[in-house]
Amino acid sequence: MTDRRSATSLDLTSVQETLRVNAAEIEKDPLTNSVLSLALSLFQDLDCGNHHLEEFAPLIDDVHFKLLCERADRFRAQHISVGAGDTWAEVRSRLEAAAEDGLDAFTAAAGRAHGGIVFTAHPTFALSRSVRQAFAEHAAQNTDETLARLRAEANNPHEDWPDQITLQSEHEETQSAIRNARDAARKYAELVIEVAQKYFPDQWRSFRPVLPTIASWVGYDLDGRTDIHWSQSIALRLGEKAVQLSYYAERLRSIGAGNKLDAVIARVEAAQTHTAKAAELFAGDLSSSGTLIKAANFLTGETQAKLVDSDEIIAPLDALIADPSSSADLVSALIVLRSEIEALQLGTARIHLRVNAAQVRTVLSRDLELETEDSELGRLALRNLADMADGEAVRPVNFADLFIEQSTARRQFMMCAQILKHIDAKSPIRFLIAESENPATVMGALYLAHQYGVAHALDISPLFETPEALESGGRFVERLLEEPTFVEYVKQRGYLSIQLGFSDSGRFIGQVAGNMAIERIHSLIGRALGDKLPGCGLLFFNTHGESIGRGGYPGSFEQRFDHLLTKWTRAGLVSRGLHPLHEVSFQGGDGFMHFGTPELSEATYAAFCEHILSDTGSAHEDPFYKRTDFVWDAYRALRSWHETIFGNPDYAHMLGGFATGFLVKAGSRPVKRAGGIIAGPSAIRAISHNALLQQLGVPLNSACGIGSSVRRESERLTHLIDESPRLHSLVMLATTARMLTSLPVLRGYATVFDPEAWLSLAKHGNVCNAGAMHKVASALADYQTSTSLRKIANILAVDLMEFDRLLNTLKDSPSVEDRHEARLEFHALHAIRQAIMMYALSLVGRLRNFSARHDISLEEILDLVLNLQIDDAVARLEEIYPLSRDDDELVSGLSEPGFEASSDALTGYDLLHRDIIDPLRLSGELIRRISLANCHAFGAWG
């Protein structure tokens, strides 16, 4: 059929207006879907040649750039001090307020550890490094020049970027962010001394600032991956040490103390040369025993150039600081440098090693024949391990032991021993244990730490992230604290370390319920520790991503940090005689942008300093914490709603099929995808799970469940939300997600996989390839995808209807009109993608069946495209239909005339490449670019 209607205009303004007009039709037709209507119009334009696929690229780029600029504006607003005067003004004010209360109060504020920042990786590097750098520069500077560069980078497809993502490249990016964070930390130290000089003119020289720490697990995190060899971690750590020693030498030279620092400068420079050589040797192929022997003997050999203890640098600084003849400027500079060395020791950052609980259990069950999974939380194993740890003799370790050992957990403890002996003796090492659900696993780690002589420097930290772990975490810690061996260990360390995972908790039970569960476990662990060890520190490392679905709060940094560790929790810890320490993660490409420029880094670090210097105010007066019966009834209902949908087979089908094709390579850590319906959503990593929901337009892990869980108590809930800052912040998180939730988008994807829709298009649509529509409809006959998506959409519709009613009763919630207008660009991208998906399917539908010799059928090619494995489909088609060879020399060299050789027409399968295979390849590329553009609406990849 020939299309006689006018083609849809492909400029952003016209597309937005089309979406508005389509949406207005819902007043006449309740089944109207503005996104689908646009998608079908665009598809029909493509099918009949009214538009060509290449014409969509500028529109996609325009939407991408608009969303990117909006993201930059939100990002800039978060770093409120950028370009607005003194970045450190609020920090100075809080330091001075503490100083006015006396030296003890000032020391408690600035001379005691309060937490820090941790750089983590994972697959969140979807945007190329150059795009992210341009974004950071524009967010920081906001000039015409930075805007032009951002546009140029955004419009560059960066097709080679995924191949550049390696562990090494992630580590380089991490170190770049760390350098900026380090410089910001120095500014904070200078400010502390400035305030100390002002308020304590006779005592400031003896003051030792304690800086918020900087740490990283990039290159040391083995949870979920087996591709990081122990020698890589050693080489990376040596490289970091060499960089840091260079920094210390440079700082010492810049201080200008005459020749008073010459000896320590020479010592540091010699150590830097030695360390750089060791790093080079360990970066070699250590699978060769000869290479390993050379590297190991160089590092472990006794030489005056070797520097392992930071006290060798600090001691001469202490002497000069204490020297009455040293000028105030010199002493001030030396105190600042000393605080940096004490914070970072002999590395660019502290390191976090991470293993999985299963890796520790393997050692315990294999080597010790201890079972840690009995019904009483491993009670017998726990007691046995405590007894063993108490009397374990230290094993000597060398690099041959590391080379021979096959157990991941043992290797990590051995590596700790070698780092402490030969690289950095004073820097604490965090030993994170993922998926901790059994206290015997932690005790087993302590046993191994004693066995290798590293318990004195190791902070063993269980990670609670699953619903079961969040439920039992309080009892978990109580049980550990019943063992004198563990109590003695915590006393020796001075604090107990705990890690909480916002990403996974939000995946299993929803982000709002997950946040409530984490706040509860904060309190329960605090209660258990306070009863046993008052006066001790309690360190919570709260890991999260930038996205609302992974724990990142969509507001100011103050709101974000308080959201992760609430003021009520902090006040409760203090009331129990505990000292709260708070660490927060900045993860991957999205998180590193907060430290992408010196200006952004200072603003971010200063915001964290404000957080740790803040008081808890009137948190105890929040009614959220008084009306516990109602709050926890709502929590249980909310959790139940999410657990029910998480276990729904239709939910598994929605996430396990075509949607995985929306994701691009975004990190060196392998992405474990769901293996179909059988594997279920639990097999999908938290980042991928979150990204899939965002790419489908339904971030239900943050937006949904509230409406269903409080349906009968909506008036009571409205009143509590208006009264309670804590509940209000949780609902506002869900409201932000609601603004980005679109059932028309999800229903549009359902229609793409609906055979009835394809048959209707073939019969009634303005299409030119009706036969192809029939083939696609036939291929979809047994597909469950459309039905599953519609079922999930219907579940969400009921829930969101109730949530919207609740929002309409709140004072500061967005209107329906605001929500629709805010989603126009978002809707445009999804409509374009749905049209391109349909076009890709119709292209394959135009093909004839293949010869059996190709070992693949047309149906199998269609199946690849249905699952958005378009690159694979193109590769197989190129095998079946090869391009004609370059035979110009052969043709011109023969005198005998021939038909094919004399024809000016396309030869071989060139025409098929032009009309089907090349457009199919471009379809896949445009779908990928739309995926990247979509992430800006959520402020993150995943």
Maximal C-alpha separation, the chain: 105
Which pLDDT tens digit goes with each residue over 610-657? 999 998 877 778 999 999 999 999 999 999 999 999 999 999 999 988
Reduced to 3 states, what is the DSSP secondary structure of residue 227? coil
Indicate the DSSP class of residue 913. Answer: I
At which residue do the structure tokens 């998506």 appear? Answer: 789
| pLDDT at 108 > cutoff 50 | yes
Name the token pair of 410.
């043992």
Q: Are 649 and 914 in contact (CB under 8 A)?
A: no
| pLDDT at 380 > cutoff 90 | no
Which pLDDT tens digit goes with each residue over 217-274? 999 998 878 889 999 999 999 999 999 999 999 999 999 888 899 999 999 999 999 9
Instruction: Give pLDDT, residue 645.
Output: 96
How do 495-501 and 537-543 pair as beta strands?
A: parallel
Q: Which secondary-structure segment (H or E) carries 462?
A: strand 458-464
| pLDDT at 676 > cutoff 50 | no
How do 213-216 and 495-501 pair as beta strands?
A: unpaired
Report the C-alpha gap between 594 and 560 in whole angstroms: 13
Of the candidates 691, 688, 695, 590, the residue with the CA atom closest to the CA atom of residue 125: 590
What are the phi and psi torsion angles at 132 (to 5°)? -65, -35
| pLDDT at 384 > cutoff 80 | yes
Instruction: Give pLDDT, residue 140.
Output: 95
| pLDDT at 795 > cutoff 50 | yes
Q: Are 546 and 504 in contact (CB under 8 A)?
A: no
| pLDDT at 375 > cutoff 50 | no
| pLDDT at 756 > cutoff 70 | yes
Write the secondary structure of 488-517 as one string of H (helix), E (strand) and C (coil): HHHHHHCEEEEEEEHHHHHHHHCHHHHHHH
Q: Are 701 and 733 in contact (CB under 8 A)?
A: no
Indicate the DSSP class of residue 373. Answer: -
| pLDDT at 3 > cutoff 70 | no
Q: The whole model's pTM is what?
A: 0.94
Reduced to 3 DSSP states, what percent helix, strand and coil does the chain have, rounded to the nearest 5? 65, 5, 30
Count of CB atoms situated within 10 Å of the CB of 636: 12
Q: Which secondary-structure segment (H or E) carries 238?
A: helix 230-255
Q: Which secondary-structure segment (H or E) carries 353?
A: strand 350-356
Instruction: Give pLDDT, residue 889.
Output: 63
pLDDT-based confidence at residue 382 (cuts at 50, 70, 90): confident
Instruction: Give pLDDT, residue 852.
Output: 63
Kindly provide the b/e burial profile for residues 23-56, where b requires at least 16 CB atoms within 10 angstroms of the residue's own CB.
Answer: beeeeeeeeebbbbbbbbbbbbbbbbebbebeeb
Which pLDDT tens digit goes with each residue over 213-230? 999 999 999 887 888 999
Q: Are 214 and 185 in contact (CB under 8 A)?
A: yes
Which pLDDT tens digit goes with each residue over 317-357? 999 999 999 999 999 999 999 999 999 999 999 999 999 99
What are the phi and psi torsion angles at 499 (to 5°)? -115, 135
pLDDT-based confidence at residue 728 (cuts at 50, 70, 90): very high
Report the C-alpha gap between 925 and 912 in whole angstroms: 19
Count of CB atoms situated within 10 Å of the CB of 324: 6
Instruction: Give pLDDT, residue 784.
Output: 94
Mean pLDDT of the chain: 92
State what percent of residues in the chain have pLDDT above 70.
95
Report the C-alpha gap between 686 and 508 in whole angstroms: 9
Q: Is the dihedral of CA 588, 592, 593, 594 positive or negative?
A: positive
Q: What mean pLDDT do residues 673-687 have?
A: 66
Name the token pair of 839.
């076009």
Which residues make Cβ contacts (< 8 Å) with residue 386, sequence separation at least 6? 443, 483, 484, 485, 486
Which pLDDT tens digit goes with each residue over 773-783? 999 999 999 99
| pLDDT at 378 > cutoff 70 | no
Q: End-to-end CA distance of the chain: give it in Å, rounded.
A: 42
More confident of the two residues 670 and 428: 428
Instruction: Give pLDDT, residue 814.
Output: 82
Of the candidates 632, 803, 656, 824, the residue with the CA atom closest to the CA atom of residue 731: 803
Instruction: Give pLDDT, residue 675.
Output: 38
Report the C-alpha gap between 840 and 848 in whole angstroms: 15
Q: Which runs of E-coded beta strand occur in 491-604?
A: 495-501, 537-543, 579-587
Instruction: Give pLDDT, residue 907.
Output: 53
Q: Is the dihedral of CA 704, 707, 710, 711 positive or negative?
A: negative
